[in-house]
Structures are given as C-alpha cells and as structure tokens.
Amino acid sequence: MTELIPIKDMPTPLKIMLLNELGYDSDETFVLNKKGEKCLDRYTNEPIKISNMAIFPGSTIILDNNSLSISSFLEEFGDVI
Amino acid sequence: MSSEKPIVDATEGAIKGFLGWTEDKIKEYIAKFLNRDIAFVSNPEIITLAKKQRKTSQWRVFIRYIADSDLRIQFQMGLTLRELETQPKQLADLRGKILKKYGPNGLHIAQFIQNGFFGTFYGNILDRVTTPEKLKFEIENLFKNIEQMVAFIQVSDDVTKKTEEIYIKIMAHSPNTFLICSSGSAIIKCEEIKEKVMKRISGYVAELYKTEFKEVYFLNKSEKQYL
C-alpha cells in the first residue's frame, strides 16, 4: 500500500526541491517540465499549480489534486495508491 | 555545503511539520517514492474519497455493465458531487471541471448519479427485463443517450416548453424508458409536466419514485410494446 505524504503545508522551496529531484521545476506557482514549460494535468489539460499538486510514483505522474483528475488516474491505473 | 543543513529555516518555514527537513531526508523520501512506497499529495482526503467510492455497492454494480472509462469517471464524479453537496464552492468547482471536460452530457450523467437516480433506475429496469443481456443494454443505453432519455426539471423551467421538449424526444427516439427527474421546489412543476406529457403520448405507463426531496417519473413502454 502506497503511503500518502501530505504536502499542502510544505514550504514552497521544499516542494521545488522535490520536483527538482524528480526532474521537474517550478516558477513558484506552476509545475514546469525540463524545458521550463508549464506541465498540464493529463486529465483536465490545465496547468498544475505547485500549491495543489499530487505526485504519484511509477512513471512519476504529477496531477492537480482535484477529484476529477484523481478518479481519472485511478480509472486509468487501477488502485495503485 | 553540509547535507545536514536544514532546507527551511525558521523564517521560511513556519510550518512545524517540515522544519528540520534536510537534503538527506528529501533523498530518503525520493528513494521511497521511486520504490513506489509513497506518493506526495496536497489533499489526501480527495484520494481517500475517490478510493472509497470505488468500493461502494453502486460502483460495483455499475462497472459490471459499463466498460467505458469516461462513463465510469462521470459516475464517480456523480458520487463525489453528492459528497460535496454541503460545500458549495467545491461543488461548483467540480461541476465546472466536469462540464469543461465532458460537456453538458457528462454533467447530466454525474447529476443523475448525484441525485441517487441510478439505484432507482436499476431497480425499475430489473423488474422489467428478462435477461442479463437486456439489462446491460438498458443500462448502457441510458448512459450513452442520457440526453434522449432523461429530463431534469428546474424550478425556472417553462412548463409548456419543457413538455414540448420531452414529447419531441420521446417521439423521435421512442425509448423503452424516459425519466423525468426533479428535486426540491421543482417537484410540483415536474408533476405538471409529467401529466401534460402523458396526455400526449400513448403506449407508456408512468411510475413514480420519490423521496422526501426528490422525485423521478419513469415513463415505461407498456409491456406489450417493450418486448
């Protein structure tokens, strides 16, 4: 069972460090990819805010932490978390 | 630079739980993450709720008949909307997301589930179909053609226009079942519309299912026409 680590109250510099370790970046508002482009949520197609992101293991999928994206993730990948 | 240097100092990180986090600790978490032992989430409650919904009896019944992943997500969104009914801002936000991704059709499916009409529909249809294949067909048919088979009555609806709209849909598609749904203060208008529709169509029987705040009329093809 994957443990969920809450990061809502994690300070932004720490979140950015996490993202850097995983090959991503941030302008302190949005999650950016290696090219410096805003990462889009794969289900809502909207830019992911660092303040509401969820990072799932496997292929390192970063989503906006909203119900639609989370349910879509579970539907696509099964109950992996 | 020492790897033990706290990343967050007292002024940066007023948040107790993360004070004292070090690069080493981050690396430890990353190792666990890469090993798929942990996930980082802003709002664990949303994940917990989504997982809980996938264990409900309604969900289990639904997925026996529906393989389409978009429909499954819309169904889950309906269950979520129901959970958010006491939180207007979150409710509106999620409705907006559903509408943007799936359009009015998807939102109507979610609202159908939100209002608890699936269980009513399932019970009604279970009484009338004779084989599992027909049951599957009816459930799939409802969700793939919800705009042709379901009308949601709002308190602001014009009775004459809505009656005409429903009549045209029934004449055009001749569904085995047509549902007229309402809740709260729209219930009186719903009854009026149902009466007017029934006067204009033939070969259908109306059945009412109601709770304290919700009403749904099933206009079912009479058995002779249904089979």
Domains of chain B are: 1-40 (no CATH), 148-227 (3.30.110.20)
Look at residue A59 and give its three-state secondary structure: coil
- Three-class secondary structure of residue B11 per DSSP: coil
Q: State pLDDT tens for residues B43-55.
A: 999 999 999 999 9
Residue B128 has what pLDDT? Answer: 85
CB B190 within 8 A of CB B153: yes
Residue among B33, B36, B77 whose CB faces A67 most closely: B77
Most trustworthy range by pLDDT among A15-19, A68-72, B173-177: A68-72
pLDDT score of B103 more than 60: yes
- The predicted-structure confidence for B158-170, as pLDDT tens digits, reads as follows 999 999 999 999 9
CB hemisphere CA count around B6 (13 angstroms):
13
CB B108 within 8 A of CB B150: yes
Confidence bin at B226 (pLDDT 50/70/90): low
pTM of full prediction above 0.90: no
Q: According to the model, what pLDDT value does residue A3 have? A: 92
At position A75, the amino acid (one-letter code) is E
- Residues in A closer than 8 angstroms to B51, CB to CB, are 74, 79, 81
End-to-end CA distance of chain B: 79
User: Which residues lie below 8 Å from residue B156, measured CB to CB, with a gap of 6+?
Assistant: none
Q: Look at residue B130 in the predicted model and tell me its pLDDT.
A: 87
pLDDT at B208: 94
H/E run at residue B1: none
- Predicted confidence at residue B11, as pLDDT, reads 42
- Between residues B11 and B185, which one has the greater pLDDT? B185
Residue B14's Cβ-side half-sphere holds a number of Cα atoms within 13 Å equal to 1
Q: Where are the alpha helices (DSSP H) in A2-66?
A: 12-21
pLDDT(B1) > 50 = no
Task: Give the number of residues written for chain A.
Answer: 81
Q: Is the pLDDT of residue B224 over 60?
A: no
User: What b-and-e string marks burial along A5-41, b requiring 16 or more CB atoms within 10 Å of the CB?
Assistant: bebeebbebbbbbbbebbebbbeeebbbeeeeeebbb
A17 contacts B37? CB cut-off 8 A: no
Contact B96, B128 (CB under 8 A): no
Highest mean pLDDT among B16-25, B125-134, B145-154, B218-227: B145-154
Of the pLDDT bands very low, low, confident and very high (cuts 50, 70, 90), residue B12 is very low
Rounded to whole angstroms, what are the CA distances from B160 to A56, B38, B83, B172, B194?
52, 57, 34, 18, 11
Per-residue pLDDT tens for B60-83?
A: 999 999 999 999 999 999 999 999
As a whole number of angstroms, the distance between CA B161 and CA B69 comes to 35
Q: Which two tokens stand for residue B57?
A: 């009896």
Best of B24, B29, B42 to disrupt the A interface by mutation (most A CBs within 10 Å)?
B42
Confidence of residue B19 (pLDDT cuts 50, 70, 90): low
Q: Render pLDDT for A21-68 as a digit per residue (tens, 0 to 9).
A: 999 999 999 999 999 999 999 999 999 999 999 999 988 999 999 999
- Count of beta carbons in the 10 Å neighbourhood of residue A76: 13
Coil/strand/helix, residue A47: strand
d(Cα A72, Cα B63) in Å, to the nearest integer?
15
pLDDT at B25: 81
| Residue pairs spanning A and B at CB distance below 8 A | 133
A19, A21, A71: best to mutate for the B interface, most B CBs within 10 A: A71
**C-alpha distance across the termini of chain A, in Å:** 6
Task: Give the residue with greater pLDDT, B9 vs B110.
Answer: B110
Instruction: Tell me if chain A has a CB within 8 Å of the CB of B199.
Output: no
- What amino acid occupies position B39? A
For A10, which residue in chain B has the nearest alpha carbon?
B18
B121 vs B11, residue with greater confidence: B121
Q: Name the residue ranges covered by the structural domains of chain A.
A: 12-77
**B6 part of contact set with chain A, CB < 8 Å:** no
pLDDT over 80 at B23, yes or no: no
With an 8 Å Cβ cutoff, are B47 and A54 in contact?
Answer: yes
- DSSP per residue, B173-199: H--SEEEEEEEGGGHHHHHHHHHHHHH
- Tell which of A67, A70, A75, A76 to mutate to test the B interface (max B CBs under 10 Å): A67
Say whether pLDDT at B227 is over 60.
no
Mean pLDDT of chain B: 88
Cα–Cα distances in angstroms (integers) from residue B102 to residues B51, B78, B106, in the given order:
22, 13, 5
